[in-house]
Amino acid sequence: MKSAQFLRVVLGAYIVLFFAYLFGPLILMSITAFNSSEFPRVTPWDCFSTDWFNVLVEDKRIMTGLRNSIIIGFGVVCLSVPIGLAAAMMLTQVGRRMKSFFYTVVVSPILVPGVVLGISTLIFWDRLGTMFDASYNSVFYNGIFLSILGQSTFVSAYCMLVFTARLQRFDPVQEEAALDLGATNAQAFVKILLPFLKPAIGSAAVMAFLASFENYNTTIFTIVSESTLTTVLASKVRFGINPSISALAVIIVVLTLICAIIHEAMKRQEARRAQAAKDERVVADYASVGRFATSPWGIVLLVFLAGLGTIWLATRYDTASCKMRLQDERQLRLEQSTPSTPAVTPGAATPGTTTPSTTTPTTTPSGSEPAAKPYQGIFAPQNLDQVAPKDEGEAAPAGEGKSDGESKPYQGIFAPQNLDNVAPKSD
Amino acid sequence: MSVDVKLEDVWVRFGSFTAVKNANVTIRGGEFFSFLGPSGCGKTTLLRCISGFQEPTDGKILFDGKNMAGIGPNKRPTALIFQNLALFPLMSVADNIAFGLEVRGIGKAQRRKKADELLDLIALPGQGDKKVGELSGGQKQRVAIARALAVEPEILLLDEPLSALDLKLRQHMRTELREIQKRVGITFIYITHDQGEALTMSDRVAVMSEGVIEQVADSVTLYDRPEKPFVASFVGENNDFRGRVTSVSEGYAEVETSEGLFRGRVSEGNRDALSGSGPASIFVRPEALKIAGTATEASNAFEANLLQEEFEGNMRHLVLESKGGQRLRMTLVNDGHVLDYGPGSTVPVVFNPELAIVLPQEA
Ligand SMILES: Nc1ncnc2c1ncn2[C@@H]1O[C@H](COP(=O)(O)OP(=O)(O)OP(=O)(O)O)[C@@H](O)[C@H]1O
Ligand SMILES: [Mg+2]
């Protein structure tokens, strides 16, 4: 009895941990999108704000990258799905020895590092371009074109795997039956095989689009002078990040969620319809409110309502005045701390961060000396809760940590904006 | 309307394996013709040759004298009902039936009309909108037939279409198939490993064994006058006495077996093979064996030990063991007489040479 209970507790803890591991970063990032702070973070919470969504939409580079990513994604879908389908069908036709050889050939792009694919695509088309003496505006140097080709090499292999899985369940006698009834090969393909493959085509297309959309390794080479969302984001991380990225993440997460839920809803509806065909009472039974609320459509509705609520809150909530108030507080703190020795402000300090005031100067990003009082003062509140626990990591400004609140090096990297924005106002 | 099918020296080889060996048979137009043989004897292979899915390695297939070599399955006047039916699961019943018309570019209204007609024919009126998965086994069977008939084939090929059904339904469908064949009047070529099916439905049957067509005949001839030992033992039950031929004369031969010298009939075709004193078998049906004293004319006589009696109401089956140690079966009609012999007793057995068949055995 006891051990069973213990096991259940452990299992529960494991599940919680697992989900925290999976979704923790996503949730945290989503929250940062609504913090008015210049840097994506949750604590300290400045003001609730939806401004970052505006910033995102107005960011030309991100928007161009997004547009290119979508164009490339569609291109890859249009190219990879037919290629993958053809390859999968080929596999079912050829003899056994030929089969394993052909399979290896088609699958090999998955095994080749994306970087290699990218570089080789680029070089190949560059050589071709040189051969034909093409200008840099020609298709040989078109980043979108090259990216579609480069990504399709391995995405079509993924598609082929999806199709072979489905084709294995196809009864070839079906096709023979169609032929026997007078269908041509083309008719048998269109009327028998394609309808059977429809679900696989759908999932292959979605998978191809997503694989293309998130690809970086290959794209960074094949995109040449243009940009996709991933390359823009990567370069942004290098030059400073702000929560508009989080806003983008929120949009993508929500879109994914809604698509997944709708997909699930449609699947369940299908199953229900099949059930209903057997037993008509089930339909009537299903029409209760509780069932609806827990059904996927109900969840979509709830998500939609939650979204509306957020927007409504956002319009009600006066971010500007909150920011103003925050500004005043900072000003006040600044004034308090300048005359005396840099005292720890009680409001911002958490128990673990009550570091001796002497350490504060040494951990400021710019390596400023104690004499550079104004700057030090401005940074003090933030530094106190973020830097102190990380004292030992201060010498690693190139650290790759993702979470905002934990590292000071990032503060250093991303600080320039903070400096620009905050410092002038403090004068 | 109906077409005759002629196989001329047809061979089919898969690598080193020969699935069909020198098949020669003519199937007449409008006939219900069956291929009967154990599993793996090459029946499906032969059928695929006729429908065009398999090119014979050697030999010719002629429809009304026209060589079919190189003509694809969609160009032949045949329709095949597959061993597993191969209905299209994503289509409704009506769409399945009308598929052959759809690919021929026939309009929707006309297709629907034809499908409804055929649904009436197979006694499933008004069920065209059902999904294939919602049908019972027997209904699927009938839909497969309707789908094949919709293209108005001149030859309908059926590959063990009843093997998936239960006994009752199978017997019902036998009658139904036969009736449909009479109604539409086209050539049916039917494949089965079930001799009951073949014998009850067919005008003629070809018995196959290991790729060889052993005998082509109507059901009665197959049963009463088998030409090959395989046919004799595969079709119905038979007692097989092995021995050597001692003499052949006037349609009869005498065979020296371990039970004694027996006389039996010899067909014209086997006469030459039996001259000389080669190995031979004399086949006697269980119902041709009688207990001595009850039969009027019976020159072949021997004694056997009664092992067991199985009582089946109208019939009595006796399991006997001959002096030479051979198991035999005897079937007696239950005419109200009490059997004089109990298990363990010796029974004098006789049989009529008229009902015994002498066939040459391979050395
Ligand atoms: N495509 C093929 N390649 C190799 N061998 C084959 C092929 N098709 C059939 N065979 C072989 O030919 C033989 C005859 O097969 P076939 O399918 O004609 O048997 P069948 O008489 O229809 O048997 P069943 O009653 O079990 O359906 C079998 O031994 C089978 O293994
Ligand atoms: Mg078969």
ipTM of the complex, rounded to two decimals = 0.80
**Cα separations in angstroms, B311 against A53, A346, B315:** 91, 105, 6
**Residues whose beta carbon lies within 6 Å of some atom of ligand 1:** B 14, 17, 19, 37, 39-45, 193
pLDDT, tens digit, 9 for 90 and up, residues A121-162: 889 988 888 888 877 777 788 888 999 999 999 999 999 999
pLDDT digit string, tens, across residues B134-164: 888 888 888 998 999 898 899 999 998 888 7
> Comparing C-alpha atoms, which of A220, A295, A303 is closest to residue A254?
A303
Is A195 near chain B, with CB under 8 Å?
Answer: yes
Ligand nearest to the CA of B159: 2
A398 or A310, which is more confident? A310
Hey, are the CB atoms on A180 and B78 less than 8 Å from each other?
yes
- The answer to whether the CB atoms of A181 and B134 lie below 8 A apart is no
- The minimal CB distance from B79 to the residues A173, A181, A195 is found for A181
Q: Which CATH number fits domain B5-224: 3.20.20.150, 3.40.50.300, 3.90.1300.10, 3.40.50.720?
A: 3.40.50.300
Quote the CA–CA distance of A241 and A226 in Å, as a whole number: 20
User: What does the DSSP 8-state code read for residue B260?
Assistant: E
Q: What is the pLDDT of residues B159-188, one digit of tens each?
A: 988 887 788 888 888 888 888 888 888 999
Does position B80 have pLDDT exceeding 70, yes or no? yes
Q: Is B134 on the interface with A (CB under 8 A)?
A: yes
Nearest CA to ligand 1 atom 3: B14
Give me the residue from A171, A182, A196 closest to B103, CB to CB. A182
Q: Which residue from A minimizes the CA distance to B105?
A: A183
What gap in Å lies between CA A115 and CA B309, rounded to an integer?
83
Which residues 6+ apart lie within 8 Å of A220 measured at CB? A118, A230, A231, A234
For residue A391, CA distances in Å to A253, A355, A387, A411 come to 34, 10, 6, 13
Helix A60-93, helix A143-167: angle, nearest 10: 40
Give me the pLDDT at residue A362, please. Answer: 38
**Atom from ligand 1 closest to the CA of residue B12:** 12
Q: pTM of this prediction?
A: 0.70
* B86/A contact by beta carbon, under 8 A: yes
Ligand nearest to the CA of B57: 1
The C-alpha atoms of residue B77 and residue A109 are separated, in whole angstroms, by 47
Q: Which B residues, 58 through 77, put their C-beta within 8 Å of a C-beta on chain A?
A: 72-74
Give backbone dihedrals phi and psi of B175, rounded to 5 degrees, phi first: -60, -40
Tokens 């064996």, residue located: B289
Which of B99, B130, B131 to mutate to test binding with chain A, by most A CBs within 10 Å of its CB?
A: B99
B129 to chain A, any CB pair closer than 8 A? The answer is: no
Q: Is the pLDDT of residue A386 over 60?
A: no
The pLDDT of B246-266, averaged and rounded, is 87
| Residue A380 reports pLDDT greater than 50 | no
Q: Does A180 touch chain B (CB under 8 A)?
A: yes
Instruction: Say if the Cβ atoms of A183 and B53 lie within 8 Å.
Output: no
The pLDDT value recorded for residue A371 is 40
Q: How far is B216 from chain A (nearest CA, A)?
A: 27
pLDDT at A427: 38
Q: pLDDT tens digit string along A18-46?
A: 999 988 888 888 888 887 777 777 777 77
Measure CB to CB from residue A179 to each of B74, B84, B87 and give the nearest one. Answer: B74
The domain ranges of chain B are 5-224, 237-360
Q: Worst-scoring range by mean pLDDT, A64-73, A241-250, B24-33, B344-353?
A: A241-250
Ligand nearest the Cα of residue B192 is: 1
Give yes or no for B78 touching A (CB within 8 A).
Answer: yes
Pure H helices in A183-318: 185-188, 194-213, 219-222, 229-239, 244-278, 281-286, 289-294, 296-316
State whether residue B310 sits within 8 Å of chain A by CB: no
Q: Give dist(CA A170, CA B261) in Å, integer.
A: 61
d(CA B70, CA B51): 12
User: Mean of the pLDDT values across residues B245-263?
Assistant: 87
Please report, as a single letter, which amino acid is at residue A98. Answer: M
CA atoms within 13 A of residue B47's CA, in its CB half-sphere: 29
Which of A137-151, A269-283, B60-74, B283-297 shows the lowest mean pLDDT across its residues? A269-283
- The full length of chain A comes to 427
- Distance CA(A68)–CA(A63), nearest Å, equals 9
Q: Is residue A226 classed exposed, middle or buried when 0-12, 13-18 and 19+ CB atoms within 10 A define those classes?
A: middle
Residues contacting B157, CB < 8 A, separation 6+: B47, B50, B51, B78, B79, B80, B81, B189, B191
B residues 240..269 contacting A (CB < 8 A): none
Helix (H) or strand (E) holding A128: helix A114-131
Q: Which of B14, B103, B140, B156 to mutate to test the interface with A (most CBs of A within 10 A)?
A: B103
Domain boundaries, chain A: 56-241, 318-327+343-378
Between A171, A181, A184, which is nearest B100 by CB?
Answer: A181
pLDDT at A301: 81
Which CATH homologous superfamily contains domain B237-360? Nucleic acid-binding proteins (2.40.50.140)
The DSSP call for residue A24 is: H
B148 inside 8 A of chain A by CB: yes
A189 CA: distance to closest CA in chain B (Å): 12
Mean pLDDT taken over chain B? 88
* Confidence grade of residue A289 (pLDDT, cut at 50, 70, 90): low
Q: Whose CA is nearest to atom 31 of ligand 1?
A: B40
**CATH node for A56-241:** 1.10.3720.10
